[in-house]
Structure 1
Amino acid sequence: MSLDNASHPARRGPEELVPSRYAVRVGEIDVLVVSDGVLPLPTTMLGHNAEAADRAGWLNDMFLPQDAFDWALNVVLVRSGAQTILIDAGLGLDPDLNLPRAGQLVKRLEAAGIDLASVTDLVLTHMHMDHIGGLLVDGVKDRLRPDLRIHVAAAEVKFWESPDFSHTSMPEGFPDALRSAAKRFSKEYHNHLRQFEDEYEVAPGVVVSRTGGHTPGHSVVRVASGGDRLMFAGDAVFAVGFDHPDWHNGFEHDPEEATRVRVRLMQELAATGSLLVATHLPFPSVGRVAVDGDTFRWVPVFWDY
């Protein structure tokens, strides 16, 4: 299947009132951004090291609520040559956290005409539950190829053997849910893991690189073909990070390193003009980064119909 027209609506139920997939062409490589839904979280998660008044000011400037708002959850599907690569797997279903508007990935892939059995490779930017949970939904593993390759940084697998949450600032219940999901994932998919140290070429023009920061093995994926470039930055970049790259996200396991990673990646994006997609930028999360004095500016693409 070509992804060229996958941004056009397929059969959707009446509850699907917003677009949930958007196709991009990177040279000869097809890229499809798919929404896994939204995740409502307290706004303090945007920058728990920031003054409350500064955080409130930013939210007001962005016309966002002061208490909680919906974080986007974006997943990317890449087709390079004979390989179909899924980057992250969404939240899945966790009834204990009551997040019914997330975990939409499987049905939205189906709506796009994409069979799970066609996925040859899966890349994990990291092992937080909103990136691996879709693999833990009942029946999903049985629909995947028996020779599926799951690429993840070795440092990430090692970290989740005994995770340290001492520098995070997460809502109640999330640490236990993260721990449980990572443990279950490691047990169920151990034989599929293909661990890398710093960098690995998954397919022609598709390279995953470890950045650390958000988690020890957090990674980004760079897609390049015919002079075009796109980076899927996972959780290295959040919406507030353009104006306040030094604000610490509540899920960051090493906030100081995460800040350095964020600044370095955005400087790279600004210098190269590469497209940026990130997990928690508003769907379809396709745009570019410009330098704006000592901070950065998000420049969303004009949608291509």
Structure 2
Amino acid sequence: MTMQLKKNTDQKRTAQREFEELVPSRYALRVGEIDVLVVSDGVLPLPTATMSTNADPAARAAWFKDMFLGPDAFDWALNVLVVRSGDQTILVDAGLGGQFPGFPRAGQFPRRLEAAGIDLASVTDVVITHMHMDHIGGLLVDEVKNRLRPDLRIHVAATEVEFWASPDFSLTSMPSPVPDVLRSTAEQFMKAYHDKLRTFEDEHEVAPGVVAKLTGGHTPGHCVVYVTSGGERLTFAGDALFPVAFDHPDWHNGFEHDPEESVRVRVRLLQEAAASGELLVATHLPFPSVGRVAVDGDAFRWVAAFWDY
């Protein structure tokens, strides 16, 4: 009886894994000689109002309707990056983690890394674009903390560390419980990893061809990551832009600590990407979030890359 029950359980788990593989959760590409893997950490639901806090409600409703989203909430993608350059394996951001109630479909990156054959113990470096909970929460999960190597280096802008010592939420427009959770998560992260932090001021080469650069805006210490090799470049934009940013780069996001500066950062990044033709990936663009940017009048147009399969 017990053996039969175990057999049935194993068969169900196998069937579940096979079903899960029908839904892609990682996408691999090469930038010159550098391997890049985009990994989905899942999705979390957010109010549509957070994407456009300074927009006319009718214009916001029309945009979400045109995108077949909303009207009141939508699923926000969560993407992290794994980059292999030389003998270094770099994780860019770490997703939400599974410790926050109400977000059961997020916090998936640990098992998806495992499914991709990437051992967390092989990660030599982590770049944190900024210390919001959906970028550092994954590092606070026991199954992750216990498997990381003792000499792990975590790269984050010095401005970001300073900001979270006494964060200012006065210009944000977040759901009411969020600021306290963001603050406590940042405190947990600093307590757990303070001895592994490698801070930088403006720009830092994490590995050959992998550079973290301070942008500010979304948070004072927000950074992007440039991957450059063989005449090609990919930019991981973190939270500098969101799905609505191409049509309405001037719309504010409720999670931006400096909305006006965020607009300037966003427009500059989009203009650079359009001029260079480089690949662009961002945390909250729909997975796999690999594409290019074109100028479209006073706005921009997202051109999704064709999947290479």
Give the TM-score of the pair, scaled to structure 1. 0.95
Secondary structure of residue in 2 paired with 1:237: coil
Matches of residues 168-247 of structure 1 in structure 2 within 5 Å? Answer: 168-247=172-251
Q: Measure, in 2, the Cα distance between the counterparts of 1:28 and 1:293.
A: 35
2:261 paired residue number: 257
Matches of residues 24-35 of structure 1 in structure 2 within 5 Å? Answer: 24-35=29-40
Q: Measure, in 2, the Cα distance between the counterparts of 1:17 and 1:190.
A: 39
| 1:69 equivalent among 58, 69, 74 | 74
Shift of 1:16: 5.2
Q: Which has the higher helix share?
A: 2
Instruction: Read off the aligned partner of 1:160 and give its amino acid letter.
Output: W
Unaligned runs of 5+ in 2: 1-15
Q: Measure, in 1, the Cα distance between the counterparts of 2:295 and 2:144.
A: 42
- 1:180-236, Cα deviation, whole Å (9 max, x unpaired): 110000011000000000000000000000000000000000001001110000000
Kindly indicate whether the alpha-carbon contact (under 8 Å) linking 2:99 and 2:141 is maintained by their aligned counterparts in 1.
Answer: no
1:137 paired residue number: 141
Matches of residues 1-305 of structure 1 in structure 2 within 5 Å? Answer: 12-15=17-20, 17-95=22-100, 97-305=101-309
- 1:261-297, Cα deviation, whole Å (9 max, x unpaired): 0000000000101100000000000000000000000
Between structure 1 and structure 2, the one with the greater Rg is: 2
Secondary structure of residue in 2 paired with 1:79: strand
- 1:30-54, Cα deviation, whole Å (9 max, x unpaired): 0000000001000001101101000
- 1:99-126, Cα deviation, whole Å (9 max, x unpaired): 0000001000000010000000000000
Unaligned runs of 5+ in 1: 1-10
1:5 paired residue number: none
Secondary structure of residue in 1 paired with 2:263: helix
Alignment root-mean-square deviation, CA = 1.0
Kindly indicate whether the alpha-carbon contact (under 8 Å) linking 2:97 and 2:108 is maintained by their aligned counterparts in 1.
Answer: yes
Kindly indicate whether the alpha-carbon contact (under 8 Å) linking 1:119 and 1:145 is maintained by their aligned counterparts in 2.
Answer: yes
- 1:18-68, Cα deviation, whole Å (9 max, x unpaired): 110000100000000000000100000110110100000111111112110
Instruction: Read off the aligned partner of 1:82 and give its amino acid letter.
Output: D
The count of aligned residue pairs is 294
Shift of 1:142: 1.8
2:6 paired residue number: none
**Aligned-pair identity (%):** 76
Secondary structure of residue in 1 paired with 2:68: coil
Secondary structure of residue in 2 paired with 1:40: strand
Secondary structure of residue in 1 paired with 2:137: helix
